[in-house]
Amino acid sequence: MSGGTAELLEARDLARSYMMHRGFLGRTTQVRAVDGVSLSLSRGETLGLVGESGCGKSTTARLVLGIEPPDEGAVTFDGTAMPRSGTSNWAALRRRMQMVYQDPLQALDKRLTIGAQVAEPLDIHRIGTSAERRERVAAVMAEVGLQPHHAARHPQSLSGGQRQRAVIARALVTNPDLLVCDEPISALDVSIQALVLNLLMDLQERSGMGMLFVSHDLRAVRQISHRVAVMYLGRIVEEGEPDAVLQDPAHPYAQALVSAIPHPGKTAARVILQGDPPNPANRPSGCAFHPRCPVATATCRTEVPVLKPRRSDGRRVACHVAHGEAAPARAPTMLETC
């Protein structure tokens, strides 16, 4: 796929922490869910954001939409600083930024018809007359492959694929410039997943919208994305073109993710990481991945690696070893490409 050129979205050094109450005494602990994330997105481009559950992908998605304010950093949309959530300026901007959620049944109101819910953004933003809204709803439902009679149905009477199409139709009805998809296919059957991915790619080709595609499914991300960013414990550790990142990953964490992808005829051993991801409330010193990394060095344990272009191929990597700044403790495991 070939992306667009005009910059649409820019996020710089985003950070977001939450206070959690733990234990019998209800002690309060600060958890840093997003820690210094920077990303950009052009018109007509899809950026895939991948990583384990709890790594901060969904929080990043909410931050770039302005649904949650960052504790640090800033978001710029089409050259304008993101207004504070709940203000009239933010509400006006939201018609140009829409979100597709993970579970379509939870995202839809069981009490309302599909037609009424697809029309809801038009009602909220007071777009068009009643007749124009009905016409727009019919057009966008047809665009995503729903039939006219589906407008009178309720969510529980539709299939999972039809419900997700309805959620996509609702997100597209205002002709947004940016679509943020947060695990949009994880609740669907495999056969339906392919249909939804093809639908999103086709709609983007026709509209030129930018898309942030959040997922833990590396196969889906490789299919739909122009660039891929890999997150670990609130930070981006590798970013580049899908064929580079997902065929020949440079960061040891990305290598482990890729090695877990099933592939016919695959003979290389899977990289099994030791232990669980660290507690975000008690981040390791240095590189947060070093307690699980098979090539960690003394430098990795004390110095936080910077996400920067690698001299050999230009992809951005946050790893002392990948940049040749520290010799690996032992040779890294060779991974078969996916």
Q: Is residue 248 part of a domain?
A: yes
276/86: higher pLDDT: 86
pLDDT tier at 274, thresholds 50, 70, 90: confident
Q: Please compute the mean of the pLDDT values over residues 174-200 and round it to a whole number.
A: 90
Can you give the pLDDT at residue 189?
Answer: 85
Q: Which residue has the tokens 């995202």?
A: 107
Q: Quick check: 4 pLDDT over 70? A: no
The pair of three-digit structure tokens given for residue 15, joined into one six-digit string: 């950070």
Q: Is residue 113 part of a domain?
A: no
Mean pLDDT of the chain: 88
Parallel/antiparallel/unpaired status of strands 227-232 and 316-317: unpaired
Residue 266 to residue 107: CA distance in whole angstroms: 38
Q: Where residue 101 falls among pLDDT bands split at 50, 70, 90?
A: confident
220 found inside a domain: no
Residue-wise DSSP of 167-233: HHHHHHTT--SEEEEESTTTTS-HHHHHHHHHHHHHHHHHH--EEEEE-S-HHHHHHH-SEEEEEET
* Residue 265 belongs to a domain: yes
- pLDDT higher than threshold 90 for residue 261: no
pLDDT surpasses 60 at 204: yes
Residue 28 lies in a domain: no
> Per residue in 10-35, pLDDT tens?
999 999 999 887 666 667 888 899 99
Mean pLDDT on 196-201: 92
Q: What burial class does residue 237 get, using C-beta atoms within 10 Å of its C-beta: 0-12 exposed, 13-18 middle, 19+ buried?
A: buried
Q: What are the residues whose beta carbons fall under 8 Å from the beta carbon of 86, sequence distance 6 or more? A: none
Total count of domains within the chain = 1
Pairwise pLDDT comparison (115 vs 92), residue with the higher score: 115
**CA-wise closest residue to 164 among 131, 130, 195, 129:** 195
The yes-or-no verdict on residue 229 having pLDDT over 50 is yes
**pLDDT tier for residue 39 given thresholds of 50, 70 and 90:** very high
User: Are 61 and 229 contacting, i.e. CB atoms less than 8 angstroms apart?
Assistant: no
Q: What is the pLDDT of residue 337?
A: 35
Mean pLDDT highest for which of 16-20, 208-212, 261-265?
A: 208-212
Residue 44 predicted with pLDDT over 70 = yes
Average pLDDT, stretch 105-112? 93
DSSP codes, 3-28: ---SEEEEEEEEEEEEEEEETTTTEE
Tell me, yes or no, whether 177 lies in a domain. Answer: no
pLDDT value, residue 314: 82
Which of 13-22, 23-32, 104-113, 211-220 is least confident? 23-32
Does residue 277 lie in a domain region? Answer: yes
Flag whether 223 is in a domain.
no
Give yes or no for residue 268 having a pLDDT over 60. Answer: no
State the residue range of the domain holding 304: 232-317
Most confident of 26-30, 96-100, 291-295: 96-100
Burial bucket for residue 173 (CB in 10 Å: 0-12, 13-18, 19+): buried
Write down the pLDDT at residue 281.
80
Name the pLDDT band for 259 (thresholds 50, 70, 90): confident
pTM exceeds 0.85: yes
Instruction: Return the structure tokens found at 298.
Output: 């003394």
pLDDT at 22: 67
pLDDT band at 266 (very low <50, low <70, confident <90, very high): low
Question: What is the 8-class DSSP label of residue 291?
Answer: G
> Which residue from 147, 169, 28, 14 is spatially nearest to 98, judged by alpha carbons?
169
Predicted confidence at residue 328, as pLDDT, reads: 61
pLDDT at 121 over 50: yes
The DSSP annotation for 102-160 comes to S-HHHHS-TTS-HHHHHHHHHHHTT-S-HHHHHHHHHHHHHHTT--GGGGGS-GGGS-H
